[in-house]
Structure 1
């Protein structure tokens, strides 16, 4: 019997792993994200799919630790100073958006005949946006550090913190909750504050010495166990204090964000966080009661549309009220219009205290899940129907009549460094870029950058390209650099053009366009890195320099052969820097440069695509 039970448990574990492994890559390939893959996989293997699991609530209870660990990782990224710097966005923008959306969504419940308590709980759950979905979208689009991304993160932080007072409100709104005496309420508040204070004191005075002692023992598994102990212990402390487990983990992360062990903790927690968070969404997918949804599909569909539209409208109005542009406000409204994972926690609490019944919980859970499924699709539609970003040129000078000796096109990280020697030599440099935010940022540091699109011939003329002694193409997009080079050589063939190349393929395209000089952005820095490595391994300075010169010569020869033969650059491990076969000579003296293995690597053919 014991063997049968163990075999049954193993079947469940294998089913969970297989569902995630199969579904997630498919959904990511379709551009729908890993979270929706987990949700769909959970639905398939759950009680309303293949029926491999009959009690998703048990899995969900364990998998909630994934959300806890996710909040801990977020806390590690939020240093106290950074949180303090974002306080206006968190407690201003965040509170305003949560308040407005909660009020609007509560009115929907009241208008459709539900009691105040049920309407508020349903609305409050939907207000809590999915942190996992939004953070993933921001990361995929590279907007984590952008101003609009930071504003979304601030709102998410406030919503994550809001789960604490919302859970307290659920207890108060429960039947009999209003009968609690003031003394009982004060005791509950005191216990919660004591839990927070105890966690802060432990994080400030105990955790760093603890990890220092453990690090000296050099037992990696003990460090991993300690990291888990910190996360789960802080979550337990908050839960015992009547607060949110996720709140405790987030506070622990913030307290350790400036610790010297921060990166070690993140590395130790990350595998558990990823697996458990995936398990959480699998369990959520299993919890979708298709029987209830099918029996009430019109009601569910109506509330999904109403909640998403009204919440999106509230987000848009708040954003515009606080002076955000139309495009940013609309994008924020679409990205954050769904409900989130904390709604499941809130609805479970409301079910436990009797505010809602099992059928209402199933319907609300279905509404949240469907809204999460629709979010990636809504973003795709938004990108299709909205025009490209329109930038305001307020306070920005447009390139017109510039007469600099050197014209620099693109003032990102590459253009800034490339222009410094020219400026130090007193050379008259004109700089154009089409990123308004970057132009404003450059002005703060004393750089005069003009607005202009280098791919337009009229802009190149206005920027003085025809009279310049040299034109530097420093843009970061390969196809744009080639277009500018072609324009320059067609219209101003006598002006020297020096270009930044993204990779080998881009370098070949620039050479064909006729540029006078091109440089792959990482090539020389990588050679210097390799030369320093040789010296650290004991090579003499002259010997290391000779090796690097040999590598540089071989690369130039291969580049010429590729251009002459019309060979495409490879797209393998080195993104187009893998060489094609060339004759390799042995070093003239032992230890000069490359051993046999290195020679084989340098001679390995690239796969042309």
Structure 2
């Protein structure tokens, strides 16, 4: 027993818990297409000091599956946030940031000021002293960079609006921290002097990073690339991030500011894709550690004892932020659906809220009990952020139902092709049809894809093709083909059966994930099911044959022959002896018929 106790290491035990959580949470939640964010937070609740850790003294064996040193994880959690901001910088560039300046410094500043001011007024009205209310208002006005950017796509209107506000909040975090220090009872005399001094030194450090980074980073990464050593490339990437973070921290700014600048600088080089790829696993694991620390701060017993007030506070903050953010976006010209979805997505508090609450407590602006209460509210808000994202998408679709965007395009009664799904594949099909002067009408249930497609001149409308008479309104009864391009296997099979029942002679061409899925689609009644995996293999084979000197004619003939063999094999797997309609040898041939 003594020997085994000597071998026990709390650090190794905590590492085992974290790695075990990652190994369980990520695959399980991904299997059900649920963001692992919730899983990591729930693990933190379970293994933290308020979960199973509460019973370690009564059952010592629980120390092997609980976090024995919660404070020891804070450095890893902070590193996760640093890497997240670094990755945000990699996705941006100074050019893109300049293009977004109106949103970042216009919308972002308005959102923070209006929400922070509203919360300050409300908290003051219910009895909180003004300085404490101001600290709480600014803290709760912040939204989660770690979760929101993990959930949304920054290339969509919702993602760009969220990114602009989050960028401003990250920039504003520094003056907020120093403002709280200036308001502190013991720092009122010299708080402003410290703030000015920090801003001066911070500006000098940022300018130095911009100048030196522009000239030193390209040769640094070029040398690392010449060695063809992934380890050296990773070391160089982490070195840049850590040095930039330490430099801004030494100047009194937040380390995340240095990480963001480092990402922006590397984004201007030709090595940004490699850096982003090689640091991704570290960012994901470190972010998981951060989420576990959030879960560990949730005391279920305290929540139960104060359930009513905690729920009222959580719902109140979420409603206020959602409404204000949505109205501001609407005032700046955003669509109703975009405003609604972005407002709900940005409505929960942030991981930086916890930082500001800690600073407010240290400055004696709020009492420890008040800080604990709002920390629990923040943790609950972070936990429900993925659910708010789903709710926001649902509400956006309902809100957008009355806009002209959702009016189906008129069809003249002539034969045309109906495209269901207007993502990457649907848009390519539309381009090919337009190239050969073939009329089409597209439909999608994603408002962002629809609005983007319409701006680019595509004939696309909003709607759920699987419900009601959506396809009839698009003229499916007069169509020469229906193309299903969505990457949703179950939905595709259901729609194939529905189309085959309503229109027995209508050619139905479907995108399939693999041969097994294609066989299921053929059984459901598809005319053609095109497996992506096989088509990519055929295209690669075609390129190889041409590059090795085989004439184009024989190559095309052999590719078509191999495609027919694949199709026959898939149909045999699906229990069919012949296709129900068209005899064409490929999806492209069918579209040209």
Instruction: Give the TM interval when normalised to the shorter protein.
Output: 0.7 to 0.9
CA contact (8 A) 2:453 2:460 kept: yes
Per the alignment, residue 486 of structure 1 pairs with: 500
In 1, Cα distance between equivalents of 2:455 and 2:36: 40
Please point out which of 431, 434, 439 is paired with 1:430: 439
Which consecutive unaligned segments of at least 5 residues does structure 1 have?
Answer: 568-609
Q: Does 1:64 align with 2:91?
A: no
Per-residue deviation, 1:341: 0.8
Q: Select between 10-19 and 228-237 the one with higher mean Cα deviation.
A: 10-19
Q: Select between 4-13 and 69-78 the one with higher mean Cα deviation.
A: 4-13
Q: Does 1:117 align with 2:131?
A: yes
- Trace 1:285-434 onto structure 2 (pairs within 5 A): 285-288=295-298, 298-378=308-388, 388=398, 390-392=400-402, 394=404, 398-400=408-410, 402-404=412-414, 406-409=416-419, 412=422, 413-414=424-425, 417-418=428-429, 427=437, 429-434=438-443
Q: 1:438 to 1:319 in 2, by over 3 A?
A: closer
Q: Select between 260-269 and 382-391 the one with higher mean Cα deviation.
A: 382-391
Q: 1:15 to 1:101 in 2, by over 3 A?
A: same
Q: 1:401 to 1:287 in 2, by over 3 A?
A: closer
Q: Does 1:103 align with 2:114?
A: no
In 2, Cα distance between equivalents of 1:232 and 1:256: 14
Please point out which of 558, 561, 571 is paired with 2:572: 561
Structure with the greater alpha carbon radius of gyration: 1
- Trace 1:435-584 onto structure 2 (pairs within 5 A): 435=444, 470-471=480-481, 473=483, 475-476=485-486, 478-479=492-493, 482=496, 485-486=499-500, 489-490=503-504, 493=505, 497=507, 499-503=509-513, 504=515, 519-520=530-531, 523-533=534-544, 548=559, 551-564=562-575
In 2, Cα distance between equivalents of 1:247 and 1:346: 16
Q: Deviations over 1:437-494 (max 9, x none)?
A: 66665565566668898779988788777777x445365473476268537744xx4x
CA contact (8 A) 2:111 2:324 kept: yes
Q: 1:342 to 1:93 in 2, by over 3 A?
A: same
Per-residue deviation, 1:381: 6.1
Q: 1:369 to 1:418 in 2, by over 3 A?
A: closer
Please point out which of 3, 6, 9 is paired with 1:7: 9
CA contact (8 A) 1:312 1:337 kept: yes
Q: 1:254 to 1:165 in 2, by over 3 A?
A: same
CA contact (8 A) 2:40 2:295 kept: yes
Per-residue deviation, 1:66: 0.8
In 1, Cα distance between equivalents of 2:173 and 2:409: 51
- Trace 1:81-92 onto structure 2 (pairs within 5 A): 81-92=95-106
Per the alignment, residue 149 of structure 2 pairs with: 135
Q: Does 1:44 align with 2:46?
A: yes
CA contact (8 A) 1:76 1:266 kept: yes
In 1, Cα distance between equivalents of 2:450 and 2:294: 46
Q: 1:268 to 1:385 in 2, by over 3 A?
A: closer
Per-residue deviation, 1:372: 1.7
Secondary structure in 1 aligned to 2:226? helix
Q: 1:404 to 1:451 in 2, by over 3 A?
A: farther
Per-residue deviation, 1:255: 1.3
Q: Does 1:17 align with 2:31?
A: no
Per-residue deviation, 1:226: 1.4
Q: 1:566 to 1:336 in 2, by over 3 A?
A: farther
Q: 1:297 to 1:531 in 2, by over 3 A?
A: same
Per-residue deviation, 1:273: 1.6
Q: Does 1:264 align with 2:269?
A: no
In 2, Cα distance between equivalents of 1:31 and 1:417: 26
Q: Select between 518-527 and 337-346 the one with higher mean Cα deviation.
A: 518-527
Q: Does 1:34 align with 2:57?
A: no
Q: Deviations over 1:165-210 (max 9, x none)?
A: 2112122112233312865543222111111111111221111111
Per-residue deviation, 1:366: 1.5
Q: Does 1:223 align with 2:225?
A: no
Per-residue deviation, 1:145: 2.5
Q: Select between 38-47 and 295-304 the one with higher mean Cα deviation.
A: 295-304
Q: Deviations over 1:103-156 (max 9, x none)?
A: 121123212222222112222222211122222332xxxx44221222122222
Secondary structure in 1 aligned to 2:9? helix
Number of corresponding residues:
556
Q: Deviations over 1:303-359 (max 9, x none)?
A: 323322332332233234334454443433332221111122222223333333443
Per the alignment, residue 211 of structure 2 pairs with: 201
In 2, Cα distance between equivalents of 1:377 and 1:421: 38
In 2, Cα distance between equivalents of 1:255 and 1:181: 32
